[in-house]
């Protein structure tokens, strides 16, 4: 009887121990499950908050790069401001060209009647300068007046000449008519009146001289190149 009871007691104890182990294992699994659930929940929370954090980071980056506006807008504005200031500064800082710093020559334009010529003014001063308006040309005596300008040839932007660069002007001397009354000149003067830059004496490109008609002559404005149409008069 004692042996039976002892075996029963041992079996009961073993059963109890096994049950305890089972409960403990279940408790661990529960804990593990809860732990994993908590981790998953935390991960989900982080994932849900990530877009906001990213947005916040983007907002922070924008704020740091702009201060009071978007980085793109400020950068574009700064570029425009810089470009505009640079152009204005360059134009404003360029002194006016003077006859002393220019080499002014004349060349007859092609054509059987040679009714037109081209004036060239090369910058020999060694520094950039601005050519304003049109040349004040006196083909004859001062009483005959200057050659009038043609408005359509006026450039829209200032004419800035770098060292060695030239400005040009188309000049009509006459219409070349057979019955046209002309006078011959072998030299004439070009004054940079608008610049207050002095006067140059220009010799005729033709040995026989130039035939001019005070009733028909005209001049264009200084430009860096002769343009089709605007200087065709």
pLDDT in tens, the chain (233 residues): 444 444 444 445 555 554 444 444 444 444 444 444 444 444 434 344 444 444 444 444 433 333 333 333 333 333 333 333 333 344 457 899 999 999 999 998 876 678 999 999 999 999 999 999 999 999 998 888 999 999 999 999 999 999 999 999 999 999 988 788 999 999 999 999 765 789 999 999 999 999 999 999 999 999 998 887 888 88
Question: Is the sign of the CA dihedral 66, 68, 73, 79 positive or negative?
Answer: negative
Cα 145 to chain centroid, rounded: 42
The angle formed by the CA atoms of residues 148, 149 and 153, to the nearest 5 degrees, is 165
Q: Please give the DSSP secondary-structure letter assigned to residue 223.
A: B
Q: Please give the DSSP secondary-structure letter assigned to residue 205.
A: S
Strands, E assignment, 38-173? 102-108, 116-123, 129-131, 136-138, 159-161, 166-172
Question: Is the sign of the CA dihedral 221, 225, 226, 227 positive or negative?
Answer: negative
pTM for the model stands at: 0.60
Cα–Cα dist 57/64, whole Å: 10
Cα–Cα dist 109/162, whole Å: 25
Distance from the first to the final alpha carbon of the chain: 142
């Amino acid at each position: 009887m004692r042996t039976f009871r002892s075996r029963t007691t041992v079996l009961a104890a073993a059963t109890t121990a096994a049950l305890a182990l089972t409960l403990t294992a279940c408790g661990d699994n529960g804990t593990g499950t809860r732990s994993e659930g908590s981790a998953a929940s935390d991960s989900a929370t982080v994932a849900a908050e990530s877009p906001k954090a990213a947005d916040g980071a983007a907002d922070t980056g924008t704020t740091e790069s702009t201060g009071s506006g978007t980085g793109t807008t400020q950068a574009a504005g700064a570029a425009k401001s810089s470009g505009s200031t640079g152009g204005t500064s360059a134009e404003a800082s360029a002194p006016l060209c003077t006859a002393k710093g220019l080499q002014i020559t004349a060349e007859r334009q092609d054509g059987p009647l040679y009714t037109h010529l081209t004036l060239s003014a090369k910058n020999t001063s060694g520094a950039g300068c601005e050519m304003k308006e049109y040349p004040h040309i006196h083909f004859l005596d001062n009483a005959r007046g200057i050659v009038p300008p043609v408005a359509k040839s006026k450039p829209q932007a200032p004419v800035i000449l770098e060292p060695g660069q030239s400005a040009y002007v188309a000049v009509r001397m006459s219409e070349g008519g057979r019955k046209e009354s002309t006078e011959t000149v072998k030299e004439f003067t070009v004054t940079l009146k608008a610049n207050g830059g002095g006067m140059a004496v220009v010799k005729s490109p033709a040995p026989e001289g130039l035939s001019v008609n005070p009733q028909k002559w005209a001049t264009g404005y200084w430009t860096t190149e002769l343009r089709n149409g605007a200087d065709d008069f």
